A and B are shown apart, each in its own frame.
Chain A
Amino acid sequence: MSRVKKTVEEQMRTLLTKYTYPPVEVVIPILEKAGRGEEELASQLHEMDMSVLSGIMKILNLKEKNMRTVSKMFGVLLSYYGQKYEPAELSENRFCLSVSDCPMLHVGKNVNTAVKSKFCDVFCSSTAKAMAQLVLGPNSSCSWDKALIKGGRKCTVAFELVKTK
Chain B
Amino acid sequence: MNRSRKLLIVILLGTSVAALFLAWRNITSPTDFADLKTVLTTTTATFGSLLGIITAGLMFTHGKFSELASELGEKSPDYLSGTLSLEKVQTIGNNLLALRKTFSLLETQTTVEEEKNLYRRVVEKASSMYVDFAVLSDLKLIQQGLAETDLMISGMDPQLYVNYKKERNQVKKEWHILVTIRQMVDTWEGSKTLVLEKYQKRTSLQQDLRNSISLLGLKERLDKNSKHVRAETEEICNELAEDIGKIGKQLHQDRIPQLLSQMENANTIRGKYFYLALAFIATPLFINLLILPQLSIGTATFFQPIISITSSLSVMGIAFLLLYINRILNV
- B215 and A40 form a contact (CB under 8 A): no
**Nearest chain B CB to A43's CB is how many angstroms away?**
7
- Report Cα–Cα, A22/B218, bound state, in Å: 8
> Which residue of chain A lies nearest to B234 when distances are taken between CB atoms in the complex?
A18
Considering only residues 7-62 of chain A, those with a C-beta below 8 Å from chain B are 17, 20-23, 25-27, 29-30, 33-34, 36-37, 40-41, 43-44
A108 on the B face (CB < 8 A): yes
Known: A33-B112, A40-B221. A26 touches B210 (CB 8 A): no
Known: A20-B210, A21-B214, A44-B217. A26 touches B114 (CB 8 A): yes
- B112 and A30 form a contact (CB under 8 A): yes
- Report Cα–Cα, A41/B218, bound state, in Å: 6
B115 on the A face (CB < 8 A): yes
Chain B residues near A37: list those with CB within 8 A: 218, 221-222
- A22 and B217 form a contact (CB under 8 A): yes
- Report Cα–Cα, A27/B219, bound state, in Å: 10
> Which residue of chain B lies nearest to A108 when distances are taken between CB atoms in the complex?
B114
B288 on the A face (CB < 8 A): no
Chain A residues near B206: list those with CB within 8 A: 17
Chain B residues near A17: list those with CB within 8 A: 206, 210, 241
> Which residue of chain B lies nearest to A107 when distances are taken between CB atoms in the complex?
B114
- Report Cα–Cα, A67/B211, bound state, in Å: 31
- Report Cα–Cα, A21/B215, bound state, in Å: 8
Known: A20-B210, A20-B214, A21-B214. A30 touches B221 (CB 8 A): no
> Of the candidates A27, A33, A43, A108, which one forms a contact with B215 in the assembled complex, judged by CB atoms under 8 Å apart?
A27
**Nearest chain B CB to A120's CB is how many angstroms away?**
17
- B118 and A29 form a contact (CB under 8 A): no
**Nearest chain A CB to B118's CB is how many angstroms away?**
5
Per-residue contact bits, chain B 265-290, to A (CB 8 Å; 1 contact, 0 not):
00000000000000000000000000
B213 on the A face (CB < 8 A): yes
Interface size class of B (residues with CB under 8 A): 10 to 19
**Nearest chain B CB to A11's CB is how many angstroms away?**
15
- A40 and B112 form a contact (CB under 8 A): no
- B113 and A23 form a contact (CB under 8 A): no
**Nearest chain A CB to B326's CB is how many angstroms away?**
31
Considering only residues 240-296 of chain B, those with a C-beta below 8 Å from chain A are 241
* Residues of A within 8 A of B (CB-CB), count: 19
- Report Cα–Cα, A48/B31, bound state, in Å: 82
> Which residue of chain B lies nearest to A36 when distances are taken between CB atoms in the complex?
B222
- B213 and A20 form a contact (CB under 8 A): yes
- B221 and A43 form a contact (CB under 8 A): yes
> Of the candidates A25, A29, A33, A40, which one forms a contact with B218 in the assembled complex, judged by CB atoms under 8 Å apart?
A40
**Nearest chain A CB to B103's CB is how many angstroms away?**
14
Chain B residues near A44: list those with CB within 8 A: 214, 217-218, 221
- Report Cα–Cα, A22/B215, bound state, in Å: 5
> Which residue of chain A lies nearest to B211 when distances are taken between CB atoms in the complex?
A23
Chain A residues near B214: list those with CB within 8 A: 20-23, 44
**Nearest chain B CB to A137's CB is how many angstroms away?**
29
> Which residue of chain A lies nearest to B207 when distances are taken between CB atoms in the complex?
A20
- B222 and A29 form a contact (CB under 8 A): no
- A27 and B118 form a contact (CB under 8 A): no
- Report Cα–Cα, A37/B221, bound state, in Å: 8
Identify 29 residue pairs between A and B in the complex whose beta-carbon atoms are under 8 Å apart, listed by A's number. A17-B206, A17-B210, A17-B241, A20-B207, A20-B210, A20-B211, A20-B213, A22-B214, A22-B215, A23-B118, A23-B211, A23-B215, A25-B114, A26-B112, A26-B115, A26-B211, A26-B215, A27-B215, A27-B218, A29-B114, A29-B115, A30-B112, A30-B114, A30-B115, A30-B215, A30-B219, A40-B218, A40-B221, A40-B222
Which of B's residues lie within 8 Å of A, judged by CB?
Answer: 111-115, 118, 206-207, 210-211, 213-215, 217-219, 221-222, 241
- Besides A26-B112, A30-B215, 15 more A-B contacts (Cβ < 8 Å) are A17-B206, A17-B210, A17-B241, A20-B210, A20-B214, A21-B214, A22-B214, A23-B211, A23-B215, A29-B115, A33-B111, A37-B221, A40-B221, A40-B222, A44-B217
